[in-house]
Structure 1
Amino acid sequence: MRQVERAIFDLRRGLPILIRDAASDLLVHPLEGCDDDALAALEALGGTPPALALTRHRLTRLDREIETPAALLPVAAANHAEELVAWACEEAASLPANVALHTADPRHEAALDLMRIGLLIPAAVVAEVSEAKRDRVESLVSEGTVLAVPLAQIAAYDAAQSRFLKRTSEAEIPLSHAERARFVMFREADGMREHIAIVIGDRETWHDAVPVRLHSACLTGDLFGSLRCDCGEQLRESVRAIDERGGGVLLYLAQEGRGIGLANKLRAYTLQDGGLDTMDADHVLGFGDDERTYGVALEMLEQLEVTRIELLTNNPEKIAAMDQGGVEVVNRRGVYGKLTEQNRRYLDAKAKRAGHWLEEVLEQEGEAELTSLKRPFAR
């Protein structure tokens, strides 16, 4: 576990790492921070021509369809780092017609997994370690200059994260929509992310099916009132609704931008300004439709001893995640913000492409405020 955490730290600093498998070793450099000097240094260290590992979603945007999660794009000596960046995350980029993709193996897929976990663009420059360079690479690993991570550890890391949540601190914090609120902080094992459970009301008076909201953090909407989404209004309306129903729990999850992180979310916003919807913009950057998982939420509910819930959501994936994780969703209630000129396309994409239940919102005209929790929805 610690080796993977250190690898993520190094990658976020723009440093290469080594993924070690029984058969061979792979040098990995993040796309972010990769310039011509770094590209040349990686090739010199590995002794083999580098390649660019890209996800299936990104390659689809480049008109290259693959069935596997990732593939490799060979990098020629004449290619500059700025070309690799364009191939990895620019909407207008195109691949040379005569370049054939190479098959990615589990090491390459693990490299992209590390980028996602580290909230980096999911693309990596990779190079095999040749036999002639093996001793040199081993000396760098021994002296601590290059970190080596076993492939098996990376494969096990992400799945294990939600089982190592630590409840770190808590405090009573009266809110404008819920005067009886207690914030309970949870920290993930690697220390990178912290999540908050806002426990509202007196537990003794809660309903048998506890009102619960899973709310993914949105700095721009929750804090600054961005008009590009309805997140801030959903957050405050959820707190109010839970309080009115006698109390419950709001889980504030560190999953900015549907799990891609704030930096990538801002990149996606720029792409949306060029005409893409929210999902296509994420695909251009190499991400899937929604990178969030809910293992952390399930672990938080388990530690809070909540097993039967009334889920405040418009997202069918959250219901499925709770069901699959052993939390009984007795009922669903919709929760809405305000339809604006700026967020209409965002909400429309969520409804049409992700199946969110937003019919009542999208039927509205103009910017009239919508009443949250209009009616209970039976499952």
Structure 2
Amino acid sequence: MTDTPPSFDASLLNQLARDIKQWGQALGFAKVGICDIDLSAEEPKLKAWLAKGYHGEMSYMANHGMMRARPAELHPGTVRVISVRMDYLPPQAGFAKNLEDPTKAYISRYAGGRDYHKLMRNRLKQLGERINQALAELQLPDSGYRPFVDSAPILERPLAAKAGLGWTGKHSLILAKESGSWFFLGELLINLPLPVDIPMADQCGKCVACITSCPTGAIVEPYVVDGRRCVSYLTIELQGAIPLEFRPLLGNRIYGCDDCQLVCPVNREAPLTEEEDFHIRPQLKQMSLLQLFAWDEATFLKNTEGSAIRRIGHERWQRNIAVALGNAPYSAEIVTELEAKRSSASALVAEHIDWALAQQQQKQQAAPSDDRKQQRLLRIIEKGLPRDA
């Protein structure tokens, strides 16, 4: 389906593309772009990444073969992808306050509010309906649209780059001059041969701030992330025990990590989100590790209702916090709380509690450590954060 059908002349398609972008922005998307479906250049990269096992336990990344790079196999009839981005940087995010206090819990800022999947999918569905309404008024067939928000085997970042939403940064995230990288992505697959947008040029230059600042060295080379080392993978995707070598490197990060974004110079001008659903919930804002560790399962489920955090479950929540408590400075209160949880904890959590108690014992007997990478990160954050973040 590469030729323009007789019913779709160029002027109509151009006008429709302009209208779609306006409708998308009216629905709250910061930018809307359009691209073709040729991702053949991405297939060798995906194969190499999978062959090295960088996906870890994320078996869904290897499922469906190369369908991720072939949108028309995912949704037959697709000839274009409408790619959208929605800003999520919350006001008063308190990055430095969290990271400089090892007794507080650090939660990736995308997860502090409501889960973005349903919100964005509903907006994309509204956009698809608006497109079909316009086509119906012209007595033309509908667009056969299908929305996706990180919910199907599709390479959303390469599509966003092709659609001109930004360029791929060395941390593998999409970057844009006007929005940095603090945004979610979504796609609308359609059968309309709309005009495509021009991709942005790579503007990272010689900057390697994200690579040198990654706490676990997960960015193994520019544009390539070993998922097995990534803090987000270790705290969210990994089902079992966190490898011993990574536990001290997690610091107080109990759900995800923002370090590679925090040090990125492009993010200094990133706008704050206008979506209140993405603002940090009071029950997650500047909370101490001990406060969150005290949540029983019912409290966890109540306080994370509608949040992305809920997907890891209470057991892994406790696992992650136990590691963070082990990384905190010695505290008799921390030791008491860890010991109190030990008897009722699952085998997985108990193992991490035992590790944390051993860490606390060592710290009681040792001098404070000199974490220079953490101090460097804090200096960069304090100098370069967007206003009110």
Higher helix share: 2
- The bucket for the TM-score relative to the shorter chain is under 0.3
Higher strand share: 1
Whose RCO is larger (CA < 8 A, sep 6+)? 2
